[in-house]
Chains A and B, each alone.
Chain A
Amino acid sequence: MSDKEPLFSAKNRKLLTNPLGSDNPITVQVLGICSALAVTAKLEPAVVLTISVTAVLALANVIISLLRHTIPSRIRIIVQLVVIAALVILVDQVLKAFAYDVSKQLSVFVGLIITNCIIMGRLEAFALGNRPWPAFLDGIGNAAGYGIILVIVAFFRELLGSGTLYGFQVIPQAVYDMGYENNGLMILPPMALVVVGIIIWVQRSKDKSLIESN
């Protein structure tokens, strides 16, 4: 502990807020796209997965950050993977024992957290070179940035694809009687890509600094 800096200094706050906007893992870093496509047909799995990813990413960041001086650089990717996989299995086992209903909803998605490139990406790019507290904030921030896109995409896909939100019917029967139909295409993965594309488009037209120069 050399120079004491406040827990929520401007630099640390940036770690939390940047991933929500100008450094978003999905729309700017283009990481974790695969799970964004897979789990966003409904809001509920999107929310639960966000929570699980937050837990795993924050903990993995802290653990790797604590170990950062001891990890042999030649096997650092393997060490990172082992830490992530162990955490994911722990989360899965604990959910199965104490929150069985939630674990049933998540089913395969818990396992999918291991393959989420955001986690590996943050461990490699941030946790290996920073102290535990900033690494923790970075984990929370990036998981939130990931989650916010997941929730936005899931919101539109569930609303337009199933006429429900979080499982509750929101489009009234009267609208269906007038000839409205749910858009079946919205529940298929390609539409997630289109929705993510639209979000990226909107974000870049608002923030010109994100546009590549070539």
Chain B
Amino acid sequence: MNTNSNTYTFLYASVMVLIVAAVLSFTALQLKPRQNKNREIEKKQDILNAVGVSSTPADAEKLYDQYIVKAFTVSSEGTVKSEDKDATFKVDLKREAKKDLEERDLPVFVFNKEGVGEKMILPVRGKGMWGPLWGYIAMEKDGNTIFGATFAHQGETPGLGAEISTPAFQDQFIGKQIFNEAGKFTSIIMVKGTASGNLHQFDAVSGGTVTSKGFEAMLLDNLSSYEKFLKSSK
């Protein structure tokens, strides 16, 4: 057969594309439920991580059900919108961010464990250098002091921007405060290497300036929308 004729080339390309498309969509459909389940478990692990509860993919769901006693959504005005735990878990921050501030559903997860006490876990989401950043910040009952935090990213460079997901970076947030002494919302501001001791600053990642700036904006944008809710819960 003449493998260089136009007809053969066109046929070959079309058949190849069809086969590849079929194989890929079949795999994607088959694996989708499993992948979604993995993502859900990861989210539960992240939420638990923010309060310092480490979990494995195997026990994450059990621990989540046990320690996250309730979850609800609030509006930017601070009023409770829905108290449905599952619906709150499913709130997609990416979609919420596109709405006007007044219309957003802002999730709050309430953690309670004997000996630790009640904490409020707030999700945050923003942009890094190469893709989204997200995380969970656990607040003390005073709605001001950070009890713990966990952050993740999709595609930041290992050793540089990806450092935001290391314990060394995350632990510096413990004890920081998002309202200043006068009670004004300040978020937590990025500085270079001099943050220790200051309640309202964090150290940037060296070599990850764009990621750090995006991170700072993420804290400001997300936490500010909870401002009224946090003030009212003081």
Contact = CB atoms under 8 A, between A and B. Distances in A.
Interface of A: 38-39, 41-42, 45, 69-75, 78-79, 82, 86, 89-90, 93-94, 96-98, 100-101, 104, 107-108, 161-162, 184, 187-188
B181 to A, nearest CB: 35
Interface residues of B, number: 29
A100 B13 contact: no
B13 A93 contact: no
B23 interface: yes
Contacts of B130: 108
A97 B34 contact: yes
28 contacts: A41-B159, A42-B159, A45-B158, A69-B3, A70-B12, A71-B3, A73-B3, A73-B4, A74-B9, A75-B9, A79-B13, A79-B16, A82-B16, A82-B17, A82-B20, A86-B24, A90-B23, A93-B28, A96-B35, A97-B31, A97-B34, A100-B35, A100-B42, A100-B57, A104-B42, A108-B131, A108-B154, A188-B207
Contacts of A161: 159
Contacts of A70: 3, 12
Main secondary structure of the interface of B (DSSP, over half): helix
Given A90-B27, A93-B31, A184 B20 contact: no
Closest CB pairs A-B (n = 10): A41-B159, A97-B31, A187-B159, A100-B38, A108-B155, A97-B34, A72-B9, A86-B20, A96-B35, A107-B155
A45 B34 CA distance: 24
Contacts of B57: 100-101
B34 A41 contact: no
A187 B24 CA distance: 36
B206 interface: yes
Contacts of A93: 27-28, 31, 35
B157 A96 contact: no
Nearest to A189: B157
Interface in B1-60: 3-4, 8-9, 12-13, 16-17, 20, 23-24, 27-28, 31, 34-35, 38, 42, 57
A110 to B, nearest CB: 11
B101 interface: no
B208 to A, nearest CB: 10
A69 B13 CA distance: 15
B69 interface: no
Contacts, number: 75
Most buried by B among A71, A73, A107, A188: A107
Majority-rule SS of A interface residues: helix
A209 B57 CA distance: 53
A89 B26 CA distance: 12
A111 B3 CA distance: 31
B41 to A, nearest CB: 8
B160 interface: yes
A130 B168 CA distance: 51
Which residue among B9, B23, B131 has the maximum number of chain A CB atoms within 10 Å of its CB?
B9
Contact of A39 (B3, B12, B24, B158): B158
Contact of B207 (A73, A97, A101, A187): A187
Contacts of B28: 93
Contacts of A104: 42
Contacts of B159: 41-42, 161-162, 187
B207 A75 contact: no
A76 to B, nearest CB: 10
A184 B163 CA distance: 13
Contacts of B20: 82, 86
A72 B160 contact: no
Contacts of A74: 4, 9
Given A41-B160, A82-B17, A96 B9 contact: no
A176 B175 CA distance: 27
B27 A71 contact: no
